[in-house]
Structure 1
């Protein structure tokens, strides 16, 4: 996915997020982020965009605490959110493919645009679920969000940051995501960690459904009942239980 589409997607889902939280009570609970009221979720998005922009421009800095973010008054949220997204997109466009710091070693600056796009997309879903508004995601963005999450889960650095992900190791068990259109994802749990490929075939467990719902189940924003699970249900449940984003 090129930088223009990543930037377009970031602006699209930042706008969708801003619409979902407009005129909402800042103290509204967010069921899919149970420790955060809506104000903290809003703060996290704007704060994360600015933090990532700072990394692209100046190098690493401590991960900020969402509880410290100040998005301002409710009527200021939309402008503040759009400013943060624009700051990140501008920083990445200037940096182009220059290597920057990431948790996984030096990567092109577009790493942070892609990471923040998909973080914003999933949190857009959180905001929509909390406020009873609609959530949609373009198929290309939903597919890339799933692939990016699998890239993170399969990176050998990840279990050192999130020890629970080490539980995803296995002895060859396979799990498949099968969307209603396009190729799926075939995941293999090996002793060394998660391996995956864009493929459709046979697997020990298969989750099938619309791409949007697969993304939201895979990121634990919707219950597993929203998709069709065949094969080893215990394997599917174990995966979902150990991949909370």
Structure 2
């Protein structure tokens, strides 16, 4: 189960969706998203709202359903309502079936709350993309930023990780450690082992160490911003960032 409970995940998704809606309000639909240059702002809006609705369908059906064709979010002045409706649909779907109900996912059977968390993490990062595109402010609560990092570590170290992302095989190593130290809380240490990736919370040693606020580290790990405070083997970090996207 996710570290955050249903209530916090639901609150977080609504909160981040609202922030995303505010960031795109009045934006040029054809503006290029700097962090996703193949996308325009309208595409980003469509992706976020569509992902919420797909997650809701997965939760309601409990089995795999096809990812739909690109959705039409409507006119720009309708984007906010459309985004809020998609987030609300997912929140309600999880509430109706129960956060612990078993449903399909790309890593095997999971509790329904998996999809609430997955879309929350997606929205946290894409809200940054939206804010960067339109020049608006960006802020995320520490517990949500920390859970984005934790979810990424869990997915990449999952026993079926290399099934849905074969490139993870390139991340195996001989015991190298990447340490991410967030000010004011326990950090994350990722171990690259011959059998695959392992991770732990804490401020243990690393062959490369990245330090900063939890939001700064989240944005580095999501390849949105370059690290500002790095010590140790920077090539190890560069290799990780080049092959960890999913």
State the TM-score bracket (shorter-chain normalisation).
over 0.9
Q: CA deviation at 1:202?
A: 1.1
CA RMSD of aligned residues (A): 1.0
> Following superposition of structure 1 onto structure 2, how do residues 39-78 of structure 1 map, counting pairs within 5 Å?
39-58=42-61, 59-65=63-69, 68-78=70-80
Alignment check: 8 A CA contact 2:172 2:192 kept: yes
Q: CA deviation at 1:62?
A: 1.4
| Equivalent residue in structure 1 for 2:119, among 110, 116, 119 | 116
C-alpha distance in 2 between matches for 1:32 and 1:198: 28
Q: List runs of 5+ in structure 1 lacking aligned partners.
A: none
Instruction: With the length of structure 2 as denominator, give the TM-score of the two structures.
Output: 0.96
| Runs of 4 or more above 6 Å deviation | none
Alignment check: 8 A CA contact 2:19 2:127 kept: yes
C-alpha distance in 2 between matches for 1:230 and 1:74: 44
C-alpha distance in 2 between matches for 1:157 and 1:135: 33
| Equivalent residue in structure 1 for 2:95, among 79, 85, 93 | 93
Q: Which residue of 1 aligns with 2:108?
A: 105
Q: List runs of 5+ in structure 2 lacking aligned partners.
A: none
Map Cα deviations across residues 70-122 of structure 1 (whole Å, 9 max, x no partner).
Answer: 00000000000000000000000111111001111111100000000000100
Alignment check: 8 A CA contact 2:181 2:203 kept: yes
Q: CA deviation at 1:7?
A: 0.3
Instruction: With the length of structure 1 as denominator, give the TM-score of the two structures.
Output: 0.96
- Equivalent residue of 2:33, what SS? coil
1:244 and 2:236 are equivalent in the alignment: no
Aligned residues between the structures: 241
